[in-house]
Amino acid sequence: MKKTGSGRKVEGGSDEPTGDARPSGLSRRGFLKGAAAGAAIAQGAGLLAGAPSALAATATPERSADPQGARPVPPIGPPSKWDKEADVVVVGTGGGGLAASVRAAEKGLKVITVEKLSEPGGGTKESALFFTFGGTRYQNAIKWAIPKFPYDPDALVELVMPAYQYTADKLLLRALATKGPECVDWMGDHGVEWELNTANDPVFGQGGHIWKNSCLEGNYTRATKHVTDHMYGVAVRAGVEFLFGTAVTRLVQQGDRIVGVRTRNLEGEDFFVRARKAVVLAAGGFAVNRDLLQKYTPYANMGAGSSFGMPCDTGECTRMGIGAGADIAGLNSTAFFDGGVDWVHEKRGTFHQHLYNGSVQLARQPWLSIDITGNRYQYMDSVPVDNLFHQPAVPMSRPGRRGYVIFDADYETNIFKFKQEYCRRPLRPSMPNMDRVPGWLVGKDWREGVKVALDAGVIKQANTIEALGEQLGFAPGVLAKSVAGWNEVCASGKDDPIYGYKPEWLIPVAKPPFYGIRMGGFLYATHAGLRVTPRMQVVSTKGTIIPGLYAAFHTAGGAIGENAVSGASILADNGLSWASGYIAANTIGDGDRA
């Protein structure tokens, strides 16, 4: 047993290098692939096969009345005159776009990078750490690697393939396993001040590269913004031309080759940018586009109560790739956290929510957790971190695909008894690095987000359990029976271990007012996307490479195989973006050889 700094005991594990350095908290299936694929296949197969469905003709919250959100966007022919010219046009400035921009520029290519928002960073800046299973100079220095030191990319690929149920492309995984750590070191060479996250995470910390001192006391909010801001500066100094407030609206194709893009700026002006060698689509996935979700990841669309896709994951670049003939890899694969508060069901808010909003953090605690039948379900602690990927699968697979947390008036005190970490840890103004978090985006005090949700009626509040049950939609008597049973367990101090509750979590629901939150999973990334070669060239449905077209993750797909409801790649998510942009630029700089 090894004690953490906080006094909690961690089973097994060790910081000392050993022959077998696998942390005991890691199960290979656990970290990489969450819910059972079987359920997903059963639910999704009919929809994916195009079978008629009750959803087809009606508008529901899960599917808009106008499914144009999934329509392919076909390329257009070249203009009579190009407005700008470059060797490489990069679309998006998250990790993939920034890495591709810098790497292409340092290979001597002229780069124009287009960003629809007014600032760089994309979805990546909202993230926390660049995860690798070994191989970076930082990890080599402490002799840490999975499955064992020294790091062996092929051994890692063999280890993870069963978790992906052999649906992933081994050659693609080998490329990611090899180039991921190389990308970390390359970014370090460019001045990114990496440190390993061992201070915060005794189980997985050796895998996580964070900007030095950016995650003090476990505040991960926007931690990667240090890295995206830095790499943006590197790109500017390398001569990359950035066009902000500029959205790509069409790929431009000549013959079978992608030769540029058409863009539109905030003034509504269209202009054409030529790409003499390549267009790199690094524009995120489609986690907020419910039409694309319904078409390519229907299980996620059913189970998601909210999505963290923010404005970056609207999927138009995915649609442009499909319009150019691209195949889709990673069908039905997505990534979730828990805490998808269902604003849409209440008709009080949007599908997209911010992961660090206080209402989400409140929902993600080990309160009494039940489904609509009143039956309890399991809760997994935030340590080890891969539980954050597993937990959403539990309510998502329950009747109605939703779970409910029930708690009482003392929640503001009780929430801290659970000691949940990472994004489950309630934000408070006193935490370090809170200046990173703009108040307009996320309340610096978790209670602000709770108040907004309470005022909107998305968090239900009632003075009796019966009234709360009615508000939440339970059949009469169901909630009262669940609460009574729960309170008995709390009084006895002994719970059925099947639920995974620690003794200190057994807090009764006793003091009015009583609260309840309905939630599904919290979708944060799509892993279905444009099929790519290990060199990030986009592959068509005919199996050919589409000349001139590249994609970085998460516009690209397939990194966690197919039918993975909630999983992580071998570079997690943030690292997947950086590394794939780096690989794409290498390929382009090497002259586009297959």
Note the residues at the interface with another protein (CB under 8 A): 68-69, 73, 116-119, 245, 247-250, 264, 266, 288-290, 311-312, 314, 316, 319-320, 343-344, 348-354, 357, 440-443, 449, 452-453, 455-456, 458
Identify which of residues 351 and 474 has a Cβ nearer to another protein in the complex.
351
Cβ of residue 248: shortest distance to another protein, in angstroms?
Answer: 8
How much of the chain is helix, strand and coil, in % rounded to 5? Answer: 35, 20, 45
Q: Which is nearer to another protein, 348 or 511 (CB)?
A: 348
Instruction: Say which residues have a Cβ less than 8 Å from residue 394's Cβ, sequence separation at least 6.
Output: 338, 377, 378, 379, 380, 403
Helix (H) or strand (E) holding 111: strand 111-114
Place of tokens 């639910």: 43
Closest approach of another protein to the CB of residue 364, in Å: 17
**For another protein, which is the closer residue by CB, 269 or 488?**
269
Backbone angles phi, psi at 475, to 5 degrees: -65, 155
Residue 116 vs 209, nearer CB to another protein? 116
Contact 356, 518 (CB under 8 A): no
Helix, strand or coil, per DSSP, at residue 15: coil
- Closer to another protein by Cβ: residue 417 or 451: 451
Length of the chain: 594
Minimum CB distance to another protein smaller for 199 or for 456: 456
Please, how many CA atoms are within 13 Å of residue 344, restricted to the half-sphere of its CB? Answer: 23
DSSP assignment string, 553-578: BTTB--TT-SS-SS---TTTTHHHHH
Is the CB of 222 or the CB of 390 nearer to another protein? 222
3-state secondary structure of 527: coil
Contact (CB, 8 A) for 560 and 32: yes
Amino acid at 21: A
Supply the minimum distance, in Å, between the C-beta of residue 160 and another protein: 33
Helix (H) or strand (E) holding 588: helix 574-589
Taking the complex as a whole, the smallest distance from the CB of residue 349 to another protein amounts, in Å, to: 3
Q: Could you tell me the smallest distance in angstroms from the CB atom of residue 379 to another protein?
A: 26
Q: Which two tokens stand for residue 364?
A: 């993600």
Minimal distance, residue 527 CB to another protein, in Å: 20
Instruction: Determine how β-strand 241-243 pairs with β-strand 194-196.
Output: unpaired
Which are the contacts of 493, defined by CB distance < 8 A and separation ≥ 6? 503, 506
Nearer to another protein, 307 or 482 (CB): 307
| Inter-residue contact 102 to 202 (CB < 8 Å) | no
E strands within 344-420? 368-370, 403-407
The number of beta carbons lying within 10 Å of the beta carbon of residue 533 is: 18
Q: How far is the CB of 446 from another protein (least distance, A)?
A: 13
Q: What is the closest distance, in whole angstroms, from the C-beta atom of residue 320 to another protein in the complex?
A: 7
- Closest separation in Å from C-beta 346 to another protein: 10
Position of tokens 């890295």? 227
> In the complex with another protein, which residue's Cβ is closer, 80 or 118?
118
Backbone angles phi and psi of 86, in degrees to 5 = -150, 170
In angstroms, give the least distance from the CB of 241 to another protein. 20
Q: Which is nearer to another protein, 334 or 353 (CB)?
A: 353
